[in-house]
């Protein structure tokens, strides 16, 4: 084994840090004949030809060809036989251009920095088991430049969100990830236990109620790019651990959040692609501001199903022809919502704001003035996928308590716990406000053209490996 040979010879196959003076991108950008460079990276190709060897070195910024020769390296040249694909080496060399016009480095010195004990996968793109790609993301990143590009896009998108909101005067804040009462959204929480306090806590399903407490405290524009957790299933659009943007603006409304969302998403697309047109799931989508199309949810279900906004969930279920006998009572509301959402999924690739949601399913939203059964709320669908959710926030503590109680009657994941501390905060007075939530993972899917949420999360949640054998 080459590792044993190296150690017997007194060599350290895992050297102390190497001073990398130049990245590959910097070398190529400042390339000139007979210029000295010092860099490091991973060997991804080796081509030996007697007393000379060509190799390809790759780092996080690019790839460059190396030329090793016995003439320039002497006895050190023979040690190249102890190298393998995947090894990380540091090199010193002089730039030159080959007869075929390829920019290369003539190596004058090298050292092994990290020995690879497993071979890099061959024909990586031919692998059919995508679970292996997600489980061994490090190999996926080494072998597939497009994967790396998608995650670089994710970083640019998140940075762009921060720039945009900071420029609008929003303040980025942090709120607790462990909460005594899971609230702010519909969802099943993960439960944990704090030993020192001997109390159960929950990983947050949303930061909403804490961010609204900050509005009470006098912060007028706040946002959080947060990790949230919901103990639910896996799919191409759902991961139990996910990233979400939530933003709240005092004296704002559902309408101001709509304007903010349009402007931000269009800006992000232009920054990422240099234009407002994107492609997702084989469809071209124009995000240029217009405004985007609006559709009334309440009017649509009344026209299609003769369902009035004040209808009970039992009437809704009958109109949708759901089988009562097959649905547990505490899951009926969730099943109805899932059925209604399908009205908008894949209807059109273009952006569409679905407004006028039923108040019974929107316990944290204010009602539309003059109609207590319709929430001043929207959901944004792009590419047939829900991307954002927003509403005019309920700031009446008495009405909020009643909405919490009404949601508990729905049962299951739709039931909202009554958070007495939050209600007490509202009693001190929260200004009217607009609130917005955007799923960052889905937004990255959309803007980076990725078909699955697993393609935009570096380490997605997976089944135990034994279940995939």
In tens, the pLDDT along 61-117 reads 899 999 999 999 998 999 999 999 999 999 999 999 999 999 999 999 999 999 999
Q: How far is CA 201 from CA 176, 194, 262, 447, 451, in A?
A: 11, 7, 36, 35, 34
Pick from 220, 34, 38, 42: nearest CA to 114: 42
**In the 8-state DSSP scheme, what is residue 402?**
H
Query: For the residues 14-43, what does the mean pLDDT come to?
Result: 94
Contact 438, 351 (CB under 8 A): no
Span of 172-181, 190-199, 357-366, 451-460 with lowest mean pLDDT = 357-366
Q: Helix or strand or coil: residue 348?
A: coil
Span of 153-162, 328-337, 404-413 with lowest mean pLDDT = 328-337
Contacts of 144 (CB under 8 A, 6+ apart): 124, 125, 133
Pick from 280, 203, 236: nearest CA to 134: 236
Q: How far is CA 117 from CA 3, 29, 362, 433, in A?
A: 8, 33, 55, 57
Is a pLDDT exceeding 50 seen at residue 126?
Answer: no
Confidence class for position 324, pLDDT limits 50, 70, 90: low
| Confidence at residue 395, expressed as pLDDT on a 0 to 100 scale | 98
pTM summary value: 0.91
The whole-angstrom separation of Cα 360 and Cα 358 is: 6
Confidence class for position 466, pLDDT limits 50, 70, 90: low
Contact 238, 445 (CB under 8 A): no
Report percent pLDDT > 70 for the chain. 94
Residue ranges and CATH numbers for the domains of the chain are: 2-114 (2.40.50.140), 138-468 (3.30.930.10)
Question: pLDDT tens for residues 78-90?
Answer: 999 999 999 999 9
Confidence class for position 329, pLDDT limits 50, 70, 90: low
Contact 40, 89 (CB under 8 A): yes
The whole-angstrom separation of Cα 172 and Cα 325 is: 47
| Confidence at residue 333, expressed as pLDDT on a 0 to 100 scale | 72
| Confidence at residue 124, expressed as pLDDT on a 0 to 100 scale | 47
The whole-angstrom separation of Cα 246 and Cα 222 is: 8
Other CB atoms within a 10 A radius of the CB of residue 420 amount to: 11
| Confidence at residue 346, expressed as pLDDT on a 0 to 100 scale | 60
Confidence class for position 465, pLDDT limits 50, 70, 90: confident
| Confidence at residue 358, expressed as pLDDT on a 0 to 100 scale | 87
Confidence class for position 375, pLDDT limits 50, 70, 90: very high
The whole-angstrom separation of Cα 50 and Cα 71 is: 12
Span of 2-16, 34-48, 101-115, 325-339 with lowest mean pLDDT = 325-339
Q: DSSP labels for 251-278?
A: T--HHHHHHHHHHHHHHHHHHHHSSSEE
Query: For the residues 321-338, what does the mean pLDDT come to?
Result: 71
Span of 26-30, 45-49, 384-388, 406-410 with lowest mean pLDDT = 406-410
| Confidence at residue 289, expressed as pLDDT on a 0 to 100 scale | 78
Query: For the residues 147-165, what does the mean pLDDT come to?
Result: 97
* Backbone φ, ψ for residue 314 (5° rounding): -65, -40
* Backbone φ, ψ for residue 18 (5° rounding): -105, 135
Confidence class for position 454, pLDDT limits 50, 70, 90: very high
| Confidence at residue 262, expressed as pLDDT on a 0 to 100 scale | 97
| Confidence at residue 345, expressed as pLDDT on a 0 to 100 scale | 67
Question: pLDDT tens for residues 245-278?
Answer: 999 999 999 999 999 999 999 999 999 999 999 9
């Amino acid at each position: 084994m080459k590792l044993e040979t190296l150690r017997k010879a007194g060599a350290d196959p895992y050297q102390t840090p190497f001073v990398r003076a130049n990245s590959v991108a910097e070398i190529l950008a400042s390339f000139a004949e007979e210029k000295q460079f010092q860099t490091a990276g991973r060997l991804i190709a080796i081509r030996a030809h007697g007393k000379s060897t060509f190799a390809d070195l790759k780092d996080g910024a690019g790839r460059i060809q190396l030329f090793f020769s016995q003439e320039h390296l002497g006895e050190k040249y023979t040690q190249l036989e102890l190298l393998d694909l995947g090894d990380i080496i540091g090199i010193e060399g002089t730039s030159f251009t080959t007869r075929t016009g390829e920019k290369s480095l003539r190596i004058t010195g090298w050292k092994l920095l990290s020995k690879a004990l497993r071979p890099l996968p061959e024909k990586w793109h031919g692998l059919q088991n995508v679970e292996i790609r997600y489980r061994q993301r490090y190999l996926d990143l080494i072998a597939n430049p497009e994967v790396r590009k998608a995650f670089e896009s994710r970083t640019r998108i998140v940075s762009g969100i921060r720039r945009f909101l900071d420029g609008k005067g929003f303040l980025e804040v942090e709120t607790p990830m462990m909460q005594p009462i899971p609230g702010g959204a519909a969802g099943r929480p993960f439960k944990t236990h704090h030993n020192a306090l001997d109390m159960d806590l929950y990983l947050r399903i949303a930061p909403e109620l804490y961010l609204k407490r900050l509005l009470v405290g006098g912060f007028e524009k706040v946002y959080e790019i947060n990790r949230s957790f919901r103990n639910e299933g896996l799919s191409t659009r759902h991961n139990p651990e996910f990233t979400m943007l939530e933003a709240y603006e005092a004296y704002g409304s559902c309408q101001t959040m709509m304007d903010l969302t349009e402007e931000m998403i269009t800006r992000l697309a232009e920054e990422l692609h240099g234009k407002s047109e994107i492609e997702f799931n084989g469809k071209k989508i124009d995000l240029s501001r217009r405004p985007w199309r609006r559709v009334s949810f309440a009017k649509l279900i009344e026209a299609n199903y003769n369902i009035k906004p004040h209808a009970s969930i039992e009437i809704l279920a009958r109109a949708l022809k759901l089988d009562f006998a097959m649905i547990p009572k505490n899951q009926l509301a969730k099943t109805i919502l899932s059925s209604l959402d399908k009205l908008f999924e894949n209807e059109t690739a273009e952006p569409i704001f679905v407004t006028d949601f039923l108040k019974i399913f929107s316990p944290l939203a204010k009602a539309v003035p003059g109609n207590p059964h319709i929430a001043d709320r929207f959901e944004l669908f792009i590419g047939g996928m829900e991307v954002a959710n927003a509403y005019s926030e309920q700031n009446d503590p008495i009405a909020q308590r009643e909405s919490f109680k009404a949601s508990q009657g729905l049962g299951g994941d739709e039931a909202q716990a009554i958070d007495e501390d939050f209600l007490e905060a509202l009693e001190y007075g929260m200004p009217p406000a607009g609130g917005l939530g955007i799923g960052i993972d889905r937004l990255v899917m959309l803007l980076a053209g990725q078909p699955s949420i697993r393609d935009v999360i570096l380490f997605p949640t997976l089944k135990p490996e034994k279940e995939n054998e």
